[in-house]
Amino acid sequence: MKISVLLTSVLLTVTLALAGCAAPGAPASSEPPETAGTSNETLPGAPALTELETLLEEIYSRVNPSVVNISVVESQIPGFPLPRRAEGSGFVWDTEGNIVTNRHVIADAGKITVTFYDGSIVPGIVVGADADSDLAVVRVDVPPDQLKPVEVADSSMARVGQLAVAIGNPFGLQGTMTVGFISGLGRLIPADENALGATYSIPDIIQTDAPINPGNSGGVLLDSSGKLIGVTQSIATESGTSSGVGFAIPSAIVQKVVPALVASGRYDHPYLGISITSLDPDLAAAMNLAASQRGALVITVTDGSPAARAGIRASEGEVTIDSQPVAIGGDVIIRYDDIVVRSSDDLVTFLARYGSAGQVVTLTVLRGGVEVEVPVTIGIRPGS
């Protein structure tokens, strides 16, 4: 089972000035040495250390009761003498007993145990799971007054450099908080195979340097107000532990997927039925477009898909760039409704963030260098 981590703690560097020792034989001065600043000075606009500590303490005391440990005993695998065990994190979604976690945490679960911050332990059952977003909902039978849902913020408002706080259970150490910053936005990471064996990317991912380690998966990534901006999901690492690059599924996706999982056990992802790549200067030149032109070049269009029915055109030509054959000649998508598309990542993100099955959107494309508006009725992703 893949159990991921995220979040490198923020290192608040405090410079400690050593007391100046007089040279041998020289008298010690009774006057304080001249320094560039005093110990209680702070950078302009920066909070005092005690203010930051107070903020973090308040966030932890308010949100930690909402974070749970999830222990999983996987279904018996033929050929293995004992079932495998794994641990992850989760958090309270509502007062109905719904707990959000990563789908990879509870995949193949034969038994699920949920431990709350006060030590109470209850069984959990899976009510819905979605491989394409790596989100799942586990339900527990707990009185509503004992459940404290996490408040959710709009992750689309997050900015690089803002505070990021993670709470989870790395290595089974329940109630661990780590602190860092948002270090990147708009990343894409691959999801596990869905019901049809297809793989897609999870878009709009938040990157953070707050330390995350095995067992953090399914935990919370919070902003400075203590509200959820993401679900910690994975890390980039060569050692299996935090390397300072962690990833969280954004709350904008969580808010779309989780209510559907609670209601029906599934989520219908929006679908166009195209494969795309980012238009770069070399591709633009090969298609007689301005070198500065950006967009999402359509490589293939799936037969019978929403894009095919709308008349979106796939690439039919091929050129060699840097000794590699590349497709050219397809439509270049430059706007999703009124939003500018500068890359393939943009289009995937906008579709996931704003799109829904049955919705009609207008894709503005460059076709032979001419702008064409193409209305497309979004479909349901196969295998959702």
CB 241 within 8 A of CB 234: no
Residue carrying the six token digits 């799936």: 302
216: left (phi over 0), alpha (psi -120 to 50) or beta: alpha
**Catalytic choice (4, 71, 89, 104):** 104
- What is the distance between the alpha carbons of residues 185 and 174, in angstroms, rounded to a whole number? 28
Per-residue H/E/C for 70-100: EEEEECCCCCCCCCCEEEEEEEECCCCCEEE
| CA angle centred on 157, ends 156 and 158, rounded to 5° | 95
CB 252 within 8 A of CB 227: no
**Catalytic choice (130, 132, 134, 346):** 134
75 is catalytic: no
104 is catalytic: yes
**Catalytic choice (133, 217, 305, 384):** 217
134 is catalytic: yes
CA torsion sign for 43, 49, 54, 58 is positive
Q: Which helix (H) or strand (E) holds 59?
A: helix 49-63
- Catalytic residue positions, numbered: 104, 134, 217
